[in-house]
């Protein structure tokens, strides 16, 4: 056994030494290539540095938190589940660096894109405060007073949703400009292959409250003495509360390919020219998605009997004296982890104004990650992550 461990350890040490050696050779070759390119190339820049930002809309909402009372609310109130659909816009930045050796059509690049969304929504709706007639009791009968007081209970619905989401995409690629003589030979067409890493994370907090069915005493009847009494003088209603919190994430890594093309249509490179830009990308990401959280629903049923003579600022507080209440509560946790394969594809289109060693670009981009997130609550639910929106970048060329 010890010999086997020593042998495995020796193999591991050999792999580490081999990796270090190969990495060192690659770095030395890259440095040598840059220095040689600097000595030989006096035209186009050798290195491009690009910085920019984007505003992206995100789609792929997770499963709505839907306790029974939220689903069965009267249609006079807003939807407690529909209120959870936030319009998601992320703002972020991006950057890349690329190396274009002289006397070569090869392009080596590394890029990163980051975005974040923070959304808060709170909705509240209630019926007008009802004025309830005061009551008193004689020998078990409840009689109406001539004065009405505002009730402390109204029908209402309330929802508060808070969501925090972030995402990052990193690319490392090597490509070749095949040109293909596009539009008079001045266009570029770069096919690249490499590795893409993507990471998504989100945190959601939902709080729901409602009293949808406040029932006041039935209409009174007049007895023999001419007094108005109630056969059923009970006030009853339900009070509901529910809350849900969750965390979700995905991390994946895999091979990627892309195509970026550009062709000038006005001006020239020395004095400034306008170009049309477009491209497409695809990747297969192997990763892991996680979802965890907690949710709880509480329901109270209240019956109020008798007359409460407590007045505060001329308001009839508490309604009908003696309170009889029942209570129901349900809570659950979930915690899931799953290995997934996520197909990814996207595209860009835009326009650039460029010189020999500088470029300003505006465009529109879309990126689709199929089944990247677990959007379910009690059970897994595969959800896509789609980002689309405008972007702007500025690039500077160095060397040459």
DSSP-assigned letters across all residues of 219-267: PPEE-TTS-EEESS--EEEEEEEEEEEEEEEEEEEEEEEEEEEEEEEEE
Asked whether residue 52 falls in the same domain as residue 97, the answer is yes
Between CA 62 and CA 77 the distance in angstroms is 23
pLDDT in tens, 45-64: 899 999 999 998 888 778 89
361 close to 395: Cβ distance less than 8 angstroms: yes
Q: Looking at the predicted structure, is the pLDDT value of residue 370 above 70?
A: yes
Asked whether residue 113 falls in the same domain as residue 242, the answer is yes
Distances (CA, A) of 388 to 132, 210, 256: 54, 36, 19
> Which domain, by its residues, includes 192?
45-398
CB burial of residue 219 (10 Å; 0-12, 13-18, 19+): exposed
Q: Looking at the predicted structure, is the pLDDT value of residue 344 above 90?
A: yes
Asked whether residue 33 falls in the same domain as residue 88, the answer is no
Asked whether residue 34 falls in the same domain as residue 171, the answer is no
Between CA 132 and CA 140 the distance in angstroms is 20
Name which residue leads in pLDDT, 388 or 131: 388
| Partners of 240 in beta bridges | 210, 299
Asked whether residue 116 falls in the same domain as residue 251, the answer is yes
- Residue 135 pLDDT: 53
- Residue 157 pLDDT: 92
Asked whether residue 13 falls in the same domain as residue 115, the answer is no
Between CA 91 and CA 146 the distance in angstroms is 61
Asked whether residue 288 falls in the same domain as residue 388, the answer is yes
In sign, the C-alpha dihedral spanning 361, 174, 41, 268 is: negative
Average pLDDT over residues 342-362: 94
- Residue 183 pLDDT: 53
- Residue 123 pLDDT: 92
Between CA 171 and CA 356 the distance in angstroms is 25
pLDDT in tens, 17-31: 544 444 444 444 444
What is this structure's pTM?
0.75
Q: Looking at the predicted structure, is the pLDDT value of residue 5 above 60?
A: no
Asked whether residue 13 falls in the same domain as residue 50, the answer is no
Name which residue leads in pLDDT, 182 or 300: 300
- Residue 271 pLDDT: 81
Name which residue leads in pLDDT, 232 or 360: 360
Asked whether residue 21 falls in the same domain as residue 139, the answer is no
Tally of domains in the chain = 2
- Residue 43 pLDDT: 62
Asked whether residue 4 falls in the same domain as residue 81, the answer is no
Q: Looking at the predicted structure, is the pLDDT value of residue 97 above 60?
A: yes
132 close to 148: Cβ distance less than 8 angstroms: yes
Asked whether residue 64 falls in the same domain as residue 28, the answer is no
Measured at the CA of 133, the angle between CA 127 and CA 134, to 5 degrees, comes to 125
Asked whether residue 52 falls in the same domain as residue 33, the answer is no
pLDDT in tens, 173-195: 999 988 765 555 578 899 999 99
Average pLDDT over residues 203-226: 75
> What is the CATH classification number for the domain harbouring 352?
2.40.128.100
pLDDT band (50, 70, 90) for residue 324: low
């Amino acid at each position: 056994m010890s010999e086997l461990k020593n042998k495995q350890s020796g193999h591991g040490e050999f792999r580490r030494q081999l990796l270090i050696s190969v990495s060192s050779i690659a770095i030395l070759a890259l440095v040598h290539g840059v220095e040689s390119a600097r000595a030989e190339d006096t035209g186009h820049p050798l290195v491009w540095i690009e910085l920019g930002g984007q505003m992206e809309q995100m789609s792929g909402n997770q499963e709505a938190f839907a306790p029974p009372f939220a689903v069965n609310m009267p249609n006079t109130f807003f939807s407690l589940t529909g209120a959870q659909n936030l319009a998601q816009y992320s703002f972020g930045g991006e950057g890349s660096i690329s190396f274009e050796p002289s006397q070569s059509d090869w392009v080596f690049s590394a890029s990163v894109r980051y975005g974040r969304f923070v959304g808060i929504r709170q909705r509240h709706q209630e019926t007008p405060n009802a004025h309830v007639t005061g009551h008193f009791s004689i020998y078990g009968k409840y009689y109406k007073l001539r004065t009405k007081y505002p009730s402390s209970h109204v029908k209402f619905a309330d929802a508060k949703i808070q969501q925090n989401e972030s995402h990052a995409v990193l690319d490392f690629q090597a490509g070749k400009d095949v040109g293909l003589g596009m539009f008079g030979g001045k266009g570029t067409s770069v096919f690249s292959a490499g590795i893409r890493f993507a990471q998504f994370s989100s945190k959601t907090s939902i709080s729901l409250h409602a009293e949808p069915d406040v029932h006041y005493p039935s209409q009174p009847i007049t007895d023999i003495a001419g007094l108005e009494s109630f056969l059923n003088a009970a006030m009853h209603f339900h009070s509901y509360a529910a809350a849900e919190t969750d965390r979700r994430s995905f991390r994946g890594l895999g091979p990627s390919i892309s195509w970026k093309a550009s062709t000038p249509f006005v001006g020239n490179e020395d004095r400034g020219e306008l170009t049309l830009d477009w491209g497409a990308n695809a990747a297969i990401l192997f990763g892991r998605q996680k979802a965890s959280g907690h949710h709880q629903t509480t329901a109270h049923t209240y019956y109020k009997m008798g007359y409460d003579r407590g007045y505060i600022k001329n308001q009839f507080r508490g309604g009908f004296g003696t309170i009889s209440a029942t209570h129901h509560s349900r809570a659950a946790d979930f915690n899931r982890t799953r290995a997934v394969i996520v197909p990814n594809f996207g595209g860009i289109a835009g326009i650039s104004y460029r010189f020999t060693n500088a470029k300003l670009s505006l465009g529109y981009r879309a990126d689709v990650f199929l089944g990247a997130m677990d959007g379910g609550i009690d059970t897994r639910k595969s959800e896509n992550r789609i980002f689309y929106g405008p972007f702007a970048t500025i690039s500077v060329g160095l060397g040459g």
